Structure 1
């Protein structure tokens, strides 16, 4: 690791991995380095989804976190670069088999071995179809047994055995971790950045426009994030204002192809996300589309524009997020709308906002927020129209 990157300090820790601040050894460029321990097939599948999504986005959009490289750790101090366009086949096998497998460099590794697994892992298989098959190694020669009828080498010419390759001497290895090297964001996450500063309407408007642009880009690639929330948006603090980066693609899903050119018709069934940002259809365990991301964005936009916060259970850290009051309890919007699809949301919210307060959003923005938070997914604006609607609503209200 020291030859490529220098780890400085830990800057974040979550359920699945640890993020360090580091530097590229040759250039000194500051980077974020995320270590994902490959301890279970469930975790490995999430890591592969994150890696695949980040490779698809590459460095193509200013508001999506950029991936510089990926390293495989196979020993305490053994790292190797993963070539672009390829997935680590041993990790793919772990995800397919449901058990962590070892890596033997003398084993036959071909794509056809994975393509035969067509039932439960068809989507994951599609991701490795472009990986080149490893060449078949020659079978090891069987030992010659002593037998009266078997010709023997003369005593003066003892039979030489080929030396074992270094990989064979080491025996099977296992990928211990994936290391993702990403661009570094010095402003922390969106919660930390916005709530540590006085309200700034201009910055708030810039943030919502950048986020709408990022999600439109992801959806255009067939990527549904499925866990959009302020914790998963990082900020680069620049002299001209915050530049936000959508990050953390562990729960993301890549569509196999647009259905009749429309991502909103591709359905998913896994219930995932964070309570205060999940759409009603996800709360209800129904199949859902990319429009679930639009609902999550609506919750974030409302909270950003009005500075609405709540305390996560068991913590004292304020989080940006809109909700419905039910007695003394706060109920996530998605849950409330699942229970009552005709619930009327009060935008702008007249109370329960964190001081100091920004000016409330104008009528055009309020109308847009209500559309984004519609209980019917088809009533929400698709991502490719959202950016224009956000820009238009902000402009209309400014007049």
Structure 2
């Protein structure tokens, strides 16, 4: 990227956050479009987020159409560039790992360290932008639910808990079929808070179940966080809760205004007087609270209503796991033959 013969040409900036900058880029040899995320490793928090994303995406040995694919990761120190590999003995890589583990910079702070992630390019923005700029469509809703449940089952099968599922982190690749436009492809992205559950010490050959892998760091975005995440003792069932919030909000077009960005975002919530409260927080205070689904005055498929209620159960043990969820959504989709918009 900064060598004498760069592999990629950066075309334009398409996104920016506190964590990094994302560019649309071209592969020089093939002219294929890719997304390149540039992360400055100037603070331990940035390094930890970057390494979490790298570890999660590089741990996946196969590709899934609805999960962002990491083509490669490049580590840059000043003018020196090297491809980064998981478990590498490279001194530069080990300095980043040490920084993440200790929570303090373990390399010369005068040097400029960057990580460059080369990933799928998604040309349709995120799920918020796509859905809120279009009229509600039953066909799109069904397609999105099936794609998201398939992606989550794939991640959990690969021992990855996402921990920050929200429409902002679900990207869109617009599809085109014949003369018209096909349903777009969703890509679950942004794995900076993800956790790869390692094998148990008793039998390292046996993969650990993500539903038995307990985590204690409360992280994510308030409106999508399960009640047990607020308490700091949770498993992959927290991802099921977040997806339940997303699906409920998508079906009813429930939105709120983000207090920081002032953007309209898809997300369901509970009203308490004039305030809106995240569902997880409300259930933490009152686990027996009955959620009003649907919240708007319109009908909802009875099986869909029951499934959302189970996904948002206060007790994580009452929620379906990702594999049951995928199967039930497929059954609902095929029993509901009305695909009209």
Give the SS at the match of 1:72: strand
Asked if 1:347 corresponds to 2:293, the answer is yes
How big is the shift at 1:349? 1.4
Q: Which residue of 2 aligns with 1:293?
A: 239
Q: Cα 1:310–1:14, aligned 2, differ >3 Å: closer, same or farther? A: same
Asked if 1:92 corresponds to 2:39, the answer is no
Q: Deviations over 1:98-146 (max 9, x none)?
A: 322237xxxxxxxxxxxxxxxxxxxxxxxxxxxxxxxxxxxxxxxxxxx
Q: Deviations over 1:266-314 (max 9, x none)?
A: 100000000100001112x231011000000000010111111111114
Give the SS at the match of 1:265: coil
How big is the shift at 1:196? 1.0
Quick one: which of 8, 19, 23 aligns to 1:20?
23
1:28 & 1:361 partners in 2: Cα distance?
46
Q: Which residue of 2 aligns with 1:278?
A: 225
1:34 & 1:180 partners in 2: Cα distance?
5
1:84 & 1:30 partners in 2: Cα distance?
25
Runs of 4+ in 1 over 6 A off after TM superposition: none
Q: Which residue of 1 aligns with 2:82?
A: 80
Q: Which residue of 2 aligns with 1:313?
A: 259
Gaps of 5+ in 1: 104-171, 352-358
* TM-score normalized with structure 1 length: 0.77
Quick one: which of 251, 269, 280 aligns to 1:334?
280
Q: Which residue of 2 aligns with 1:185?
A: 122
2:39 & 2:157 partners in 1: Cα distance?
28
Q: Please list, as runs of the form range in 1=range in 2, the aligned pairs for 1:204-223 lying within 5 A after superposition.
A: 204-223=141-160
Quick one: which of 53, 57, 64 aligns to 1:54?
57
CA contact (8 A) 2:160 2:210 kept: no
How big is the shift at 1:59? 5.2
How big is the shift at 1:93? 2.0
1:49 & 1:211 partners in 2: Cα distance?
21
Give the SS at the match of 2:184: strand
Gaps of 5+ in 2: 177-181, 201-205
CA contact (8 A) 2:252 2:296 kept: no
Structure with bigger gyration radius: 1
Q: Cα 1:314–1:43, aligned 2, differ >3 Å: closer, same or farther? A: closer
CA contact (8 A) 2:77 2:112 kept: yes
CA contact (8 A) 1:101 1:174 kept: no
1:59 & 1:303 partners in 2: Cα distance?
31
Asked if 1:197 corresponds to 2:144, the answer is no
Q: Which residue of 2 aligns with 1:266?
A: 213
Instruction: Tell me the number of residue pairs that the alignment of Structure 1 and Structure 2 aligns.
Output: 322
Give the SS at the match of 2:211: helix
Asked if 1:366 corresponds to 2:305, the answer is yes
Give the SS at the match of 2:174: strand
How big is the shift at 1:347? 0.9
